[in-house]
Structure 1
């Protein structure tokens, strides 16, 4: 946490010394060490037997076969085959209710559906939907299920399909309702719902999922965003948890630290489900800007609803202007960068967290180009020791976060690093590191120790698995030559 009123006493370092200190200017030729858990004969599919898979898509299976033929490294090919279909193999429940398709998607080892995770888990399948009607209906079902949950409670982040199920968080000091697993208010949760709907429509041209329930949910999302600008009151949401973990609760009676009302949207929690310190989470507000503009396009083009489209655009423009006025601050080493969190009074949190949306993911979200000067400075900060949650060890270097603690890297951060660079040596570094740190499992974990990849968290984390699949597909389409290398 940095108070910018104190900056006059800070000795500013120039960019050259920052780059030298951080190691960014050294490239990726000096890679961390490698660790071998398997030999080639061990690359046997870790997928469930065909009869035990939750959902089978002919187009996904065809894609796996096609992509594997291009991947020269057998271990990387094996990992792709295990990870890309993991969401379909193990986490989805598809059914119809009142003639509409619904798809409940768990995160993996937690039997609940996160709005964020479920969107990210199925996102890489969108481009295959037009060739597979069964898969297309499954994706429509995810959107319908998300809309149902948003209408139940736009402030909740995770839900059950069975409203009679009792959450372990039932005693949280907030307005818990039947069907809610957890009620942490995270701006990005609603953005992910908007993102999936928009890209489904753009890819398939199918507007049938954009029904009256969808329109009501979008109206509720915009209302919730405006409530959480808190211009006239603290709004209806508050949250506290009495488990002793400060990352799981909020300050000031559950409303968070005080803020200057500058037009940004308050987010009480980050994409990691950790509490924000300063409630204006910049990366999530960026995501809101992009998502509101995409939703405006739908209301304008599909519904010819100029009023709602304007409402979305006006809010997006207001938030965007506030980000550019208040979210870009002078770091003592990195120069002008985006802060992760601010309060509008001049205080800021300089760090980056591996969970998406984070500052590293700004081009992936579509908020700014990778060539944007402030983003370039921010990226260098995020991937350096100036970021307190960047770790370097015997086997890897990368971004972690306070959710798990020090000396742990999140593969989500490595994958996003590769997705947001055009430097081939950096992409190769990320692929090598992901390959070297799965600890012989063939899957991507939540986090691993930089000095011991066998010390990892969450062996079944479908978001990370599917995002890895998204990275490989991205390289297959844009840089197939890299996949023809052996690491």
Structure 2
């Protein structure tokens, strides 16, 4: 088993033994009469245990006909709880810190996505509710430290421990681990908060501090429309990869200010070619509407709700005017645009992507423009669509050509109603883990034993969420 050195091997250093060693046979495996050993840490070494999650594993694994697929689910679904969470209190409030896996800092996007699959269980598990409340509160405090940062340290007084970020030319403050402005980071925060409230109707985490953070989100989105031509954000890094820094003295490529929100980096942490990242703007429209619902129904803040809805409508109208390639029944979404008429078509496996728009709630599943766009993404028209002996899937520039991200296959399976498509995705995923029992960041299309990041909790969490989705929506593909 070998790992492919990624473009930034300091950032992506493989951590030896990352959550892959365990020796006991899991109960779910015994129930399925399979000798596959669990890859979970021993019970005493797990960071957090949820009775509801353990019951869910047993219930769903027993319905999966393929023992290896059941084994992968039982390893991946609880991986975030087993290995990445730390629970405590701050100023009398619940607090939860969630690392990405092999990087000991908390990304807003990753942490929100890592726990999203546990939301349906929160109503009946008080300990899980506490964990989720703590993360919602932690997100709010992070946004109040710096709404432009994508990653944060455990303590609000710490300097970044990330070697690649220490000399970045940007406004680094204590508590910030990395300061790449990624529009989707704040959208994922809102998605989790809204999903928690819808699942539990628990208004506890939506206190005055959360309200202040929500106002900061809307204000930051407004500022990053850059209607006056300026922005307080600047970022440069001395790096070998051009995708790790911004051109034009750290301000990024020029744009015509058309009402869209600038995102200088993608959810892959790679710099945008054109700063209007279309899937992130579509995600922002959805997030602003969710935020408006929370502001109105939970906070009783009619002014904030109106501001969020007005901005959502403005961005949505700008997307319809400027972000479509082609017209009428042939129109598809661009990936990035600059407002001058220039457009980039591609897709990147990280969500939000064009392929993930339905999954994230940005469009309806049967939306014709989305389905046309998705089909183009999963074709040779996308320069980051790769095929090989191991299968086919979407990657991105982050770890190089020919590298498929399991996340892309998971997103496609969750977005599809075609059992044949879903089964193909499951087959590739099942054979891509290279004996580790976990999902990876990426694997070589020609050889799945060549992969990056053996401990990537977001991919594991999304795999578990996919199995739950299929068990409820298309149970026949798992039987």
Q: TM-score, normalised by structure 2?
A: 0.91
Q: Distance in 2 between matches of 1:124 and 1:302?
A: 23
- In structure 2, what is the equivalent of residue 446 of structure 1? 441
- In structure 1, what is the equivalent of residue 59 of structure 2? 66
Q: Distance in 2 between matches of 1:330 and 1:252?
A: 30
- In structure 2, what is the equivalent of residue 198 of structure 1? 194
**In the alignment, structure 1 residue 462 sits paired with structure 2 residue 462:** no
Change (3 A) 1:427 1:259: same
Aligned mate of 1:164, from 150, 158, 169: 158
- In structure 2, what is the equivalent of residue 34 of structure 1? none
Change (3 A) 1:226 1:319: same
Aligned mate of 1:248, from 240, 244, 254: 244
- In structure 2, what is the equivalent of residue 56 of structure 1? 49
**In the alignment, structure 1 residue 437 sits paired with structure 2 residue 458:** no
Check whether the contact 2:153–2:160 (CA below 8 A) recurs between aligned residues: no
Aligned mate of 2:325, from 318, 326, 329: 329
Deviation for aligned residue 1:165: 4.3
Check whether the contact 1:230–1:261 (CA below 8 A) recurs between aligned residues: yes
- In structure 2, what is the equivalent of residue 380 of structure 1? 375
Q: Deviations over 1:171-227 (max 9, x none)?
A: 101001111110000000000111111110111000111000000001001110011
Q: Distance in 1 between matches of 2:48 and 2:299?
A: 33
Check whether the contact 1:444–1:465 (CA below 8 A) recurs between aligned residues: yes
Q: Distance in 2 between matches of 1:42 and 1:347?
A: 55
- In structure 1, what is the equivalent of residue 341 of structure 2? 346
Check whether the contact 2:206–2:299 (CA below 8 A) recurs between aligned residues: no
Q: Distance in 2 between matches of 1:54 and 1:364?
A: 29
Q: Over aligned residues, Cα RMSD in angstroms?
A: 1.2
**In the alignment, structure 1 residue 99 sits paired with structure 2 residue 92:** yes
Deviation for aligned residue 1:42: 5.5
Q: Deviations over 1:419-449 (max 9, x none)?
A: 1111010000111110011101110000000
**In the alignment, structure 1 residue 403 sits paired with structure 2 residue 398:** yes
Q: TM-score, normalised by structure 1?
A: 0.89
- In structure 2, what is the equivalent of residue 259 of structure 1? 255
Deviation for aligned residue 1:156: 0.2
Deviation for aligned residue 1:303: 2.7
- Structure 1 consecutive aligned stretches of length 4 or more whose deviation exceeds 3 Å: none
Q: Which runs of 5+ in 2 are unaligned?
A: 1-32
- In structure 2, what is the equivalent of residue 16 of structure 1? none
Change (3 A) 1:377 1:478: same
Deviation for aligned residue 1:98: 2.1
Secondary structure at the aligned position of 1:70 is classed as coil
**In the alignment, structure 1 residue 307 sits paired with structure 2 residue 300:** no
Q: Distance in 1 between matches of 2:231 and 2:54?
A: 47
Deviation for aligned residue 1:43: 1.1
Deviation for aligned residue 1:479: 1.6
Q: Distance in 1 between matches of 2:109 and 2:322?
A: 26
Q: Which runs of 5+ in 1 are unaligned?
A: 1-39
- In structure 2, what is the equivalent of residue 287 of structure 1? 283
Check whether the contact 1:234–1:255 (CA below 8 A) recurs between aligned residues: no
Check whether the contact 1:263–1:318 (CA below 8 A) recurs between aligned residues: yes
- In structure 2, what is the equivalent of residue 228 of structure 1? 224
Deviation for aligned residue 1:309: 0.8
Check whether the contact 2:433–2:448 (CA below 8 A) recurs between aligned residues: yes
**In the alignment, structure 1 residue 480 sits paired with structure 2 residue 475:** yes
